[in-house]
Amino acid sequence: MGRGKDLNSTCSSESTTNVIDRTHQSVCPELGSKNHISSKASLWSGFFTSTFSIFEHHKESSVSEKKAFHSRHNVWATVRKVMTSGSMRRIQERILGSRRSGVYSSGGDIWLLGVCHKISQDQAPDDAVTSTGTAGYELDFSSRILMTYRKGFNAIQDSKYTSDVNWGCMLRSSQMLVAQALLFHRLGRSWRKTSQKPLDKEYVEILHLFGDSETSAFSIHNLLQAGRAYDLAAGSWVGPYAMCRSWETLVRLKRETPNLQEQQLPMAIYIVSGDEDGERGGAPVLCIDDASRHCFEFSKGQLDWSPILLLVPLVLGLEKINPRYIPSLRTTFTFPQSLGILGGKPGASTYIVGVQDENAFYLDPHDVQQVVNIDKDDLEADTSSYHCNVIRHIPLESIDPSLAIGFYCRDKDDFDNFCYRASKLADESDGAPLFTVAETHSTNSGRHGSALNDRSRLVEDDTDGVVHMPNEEAHEDDWQFL
């Protein structure tokens, strides 16, 4: 949720007022320590002292010279000079979270939705933009579709809400994840945004689906309607599990045409959880038979397999995330099928798209923008409000333990490769897997799916058809309910 920050333009070019507002809201996680708070207070104290000194100086001059008009003119000219100076821009970047401040300092590789960006420790900060690694990463990050709070849309159903400020962050985060799945499906993982017109038709059609009206298939209006069974309502916050189930319902309701390629979400959707109400203890099990059934039902029996969107809602701790899960969470971003994580700080959902060492990079839905509904045929549309150049990060250990992981598998081979990676990750989790993989349902929840051979085809263990978790009984109590 969190307090919204109104924008006069895109999030990459915010006003100083917004910057000051962010200071009070502690939006940038890296500024949360006492040292940072102290230095931030000192920073602003020095800034305002300097500014007031400017006013005082010119006040004295105006009295002595009897030229108040010219004095006021000179004052504001000086203030404008300060506000637009390099020093002020550096202050703004410090508060917002500079695109490079603390981001590239470790030199560690950055994994962004399955793509590795090499960052060299030897690069000087001023030369970072010329590096293939950092420049490529920034373009990749800014090409991800951003969904934020909007204001000024038609009232949601029978409510009086014409904005989702302060309550719609989980819905917006989930829209971002599904939008990336559509982007990967239609345009491929290598697609990057461009300022050239006309725009890609597929890209514009994707943005149209997420407009803020009932005529757009995946609007928050329709999401709330589909999620009523899971207590979704305008003005109320919702958790990751209910959000995932609401998407499942919405997608099913929107399947109006038998032509698979014309489906608004041209892929099956599978919520990987313990049971229908998400209350089974232990790690959820991805059942390959279930995935196959979802694909078959999606294609209405036309295909044995189809593209599939996997959503895995999890609770990995009580008040904070259990650190034993962090290495596995980090590794999921190396999967080519990665769609990131719905998560953030408690009560403030974000869309986490990448990791570097112990930090997670995210897109923030809490900025407030005017409603924009893009026509699906408007290839000259202004889409700047759907992208962000400001790179923000949060320590992985600070993520809310209630989250959901997303994956997109294009075909059966891609799914098999995902199962191989997921099984290997579970085997190496020291008894604390995020989820496990099984060929079929088993009454023993401690067992998980088998491995894949070198051809990335699922095969069973030669012993009893399963691969057992090492030390699973010893760590069972550490697993949290879903």
Active site residues: 169, 364, 366
Euclidean distance between CA atoms 242 and 482, whole angstroms: 11
Tokens of 342: 């719905």
Q: Which residues contact 128 (CB under 8 A, 6 or more apart)?
A: 100, 104, 134, 135
Output the CA angle 212-214-219, nearest 5 degrees: 45
Beta pairing partners, 343? 350
Euclidean distance between CA atoms 44 and 39, whole angstroms: 9
Distances from the Cα of 340 to the Cαs of 321, 352, 482, in angstroms?
Answer: 17, 6, 19
- Which sign does the torsion angle of CA 366, 367, 371, 372 carry? negative
**Residue 247 host element (H or E):** helix 240-253
Distances from the Cα of 290 to the Cαs of 295, 335, 443, in angstroms?
Answer: 9, 21, 15
CB 97 within 8 A of CB 77: no
- Please name the residue ranges forming H helices in 29-162: 34-65, 68-83, 86-96, 132-143
- What DSSP line would sit under 338-354, residue for residue? EEEEEEEETTEEEEEEE
- Residue position matching structure tokens 């900060």: 125
Residue 71's identity, in one-letter code, is S
Beta pairing partners, 115? 112
- Which sign does the torsion angle of CA 109, 334, 210, 363 carry? negative
CB 267 within 8 A of CB 415: no
CB 366 within 8 A of CB 169: yes
DSSP state of 67: -
Distances from the Cα of 297 to the Cαs of 120, 243, 267, 308, in angstroms?
Answer: 47, 22, 11, 12
Euclidean distance between CA atoms 180 and 200, whole angstroms: 15
Q: Are strands 338-345 and 348-356 parallel, antiparallel or unpaired?
A: antiparallel
Tokens of 117: 């960006």
Euclidean distance between CA atoms 152 and 59, whole angstroms: 43
